[in-house]
Chains A and B, each alone.
Chain A
Amino acid sequence: MNKLLNIINQILEEAGNSPVNSLENSTRLRDDLNLDSLMLAELTVIIENEFGVDIFEDGIVETIGEVVSKIEGK
C-alpha cells in the first residue's frame, strides 16, 4: 500500500495537485483522487513496470481496493 501511495502521490504532485496522506480500499481513483484518463494511463504503466500487472486488463478499475487485489493477484 505504501508503494502505491508513493506512486499515486508522485502522479498527483507532478500534475500540480496536492498529495494525499493515506489510501483506503474504498478510495475511488477518479472521484476521490481526481485522476483523469491520462493520469490513470500513467498509473497503469507504472504499476505494470513495477509489479508486472496490467490493472485494466479485464475491464474497469474504480477503487484502490481493486488495484491492490490486481497487484496481489487475487
Chain B
Amino acid sequence: MTASTSQLKRTAVKPRQRHLSSRGLVYLFIWPTLLLLIAMNVFPLFYSLYLGFTDYSAIARQAPEWVGFQNFANILNDKNLWQYFATTGRYALMTVTLQTLVGFGLAMLVHEKFKGSGILTTLILIPMMISPVVVGLFWKLMYNPTFGFFNALLGFTDPSKSPDWLASRFAGQPMPGLALWAVVIADVWMWAPFVMLLVLSGLKAIPDYLYEAAAVDRASSWFQFWRITLPQVAPLLLIAVLFRTIEAFKSFDLVMGMTGGGPGVQTELISVDLYRIAFLGQFRTGPASALAYIILIIIIAISNLYIKYLNKSKGEG
C-alpha cells in the first residue's frame, strides 16, 4: 500500500522535515478553516443546546424562556416520537442489512475481471452519486400504481389488483409497512453500490496465494468464502456498515422526495419529523432543538465507534 510506504518514509525524515517552517504560515493556513467551522458548526451546536432548554419559537416575537429539562421530558414521554424513533431504527436495520448483502453480492460478481466488467461496475456505481431527492423522485415514478414500471416488471398488470407501494395498499386493502419497504428498496438501490465499492477494495487486497493454497488443499469454494474471503474483507465491510448506519439515522432527502413521511406517519423518520416540528408551520424551535440533540447523541455514539475503528485500522496499516 502506498499509504504505508509514504508513512515509513515520513517517519525517517521526520526530524528535518518538521521544523523547516515558520509558525505564522501554519496559523495562516489553518485558522480560516477552523474559524469557519467554529462559526458555522460549533456555535450553532451550543446555541441549539441552549434553545433545547427553552420555550421558544423562531417566528414569535418573544425571547426564549428557560424551562429546564421540560422539552426533553416531553420528548421522552411522547408516544408518537418513540414510534418515529422505532420506525427510524427499523428502517436503518432493514436498509443496512439489505445493502450489505446486495453490495457484497455485487462485489463478488464484478470482482474478477472479464471483458466489460469495468464499464458495468461504473454503471452500477452511478445511483450512489445522484442527488438523493432526485432518486426519491425516480422511485416515486417507478412505484406509481397505474403507469409505474415497478409493478409492471413484477408482473402486475391490473392496477386494481396490484400493490400501491407508496400508499401502503395492496389491491385496495391497506397493507401497513409497504411504504417503508418501498423507501428501503430505493435506498438499497442507491447505496448498495457504496458497500460494493468498499468490499471490492477489500477483495483486491486479499493475496492470491491464500486461494492457491486453499485450491491445492482442495478446500471447497464454500470453505474458501467463509475462511478466507469473509475474514479478509470484514474490516472494510464494517466501515461500510457503520457509515451507512450513520447515514440511515440522518436519512431525510430520499424520504422527502418519495413520501414526505406518508402515508399517515408510516415513513415518518425522525429527521423528517424534526423538520416538521422545526419548520413546517409549527416553528416550535425549543422542542425541536431538544429533539435535534437527542438525535445528535445517537449519531455521535455511532460515529465514535466508526472513528475509533478507523484509527485502529490506520495504526495497523
A interacts with B: no
Chain B residues with CB under 8 Å of chain A are none
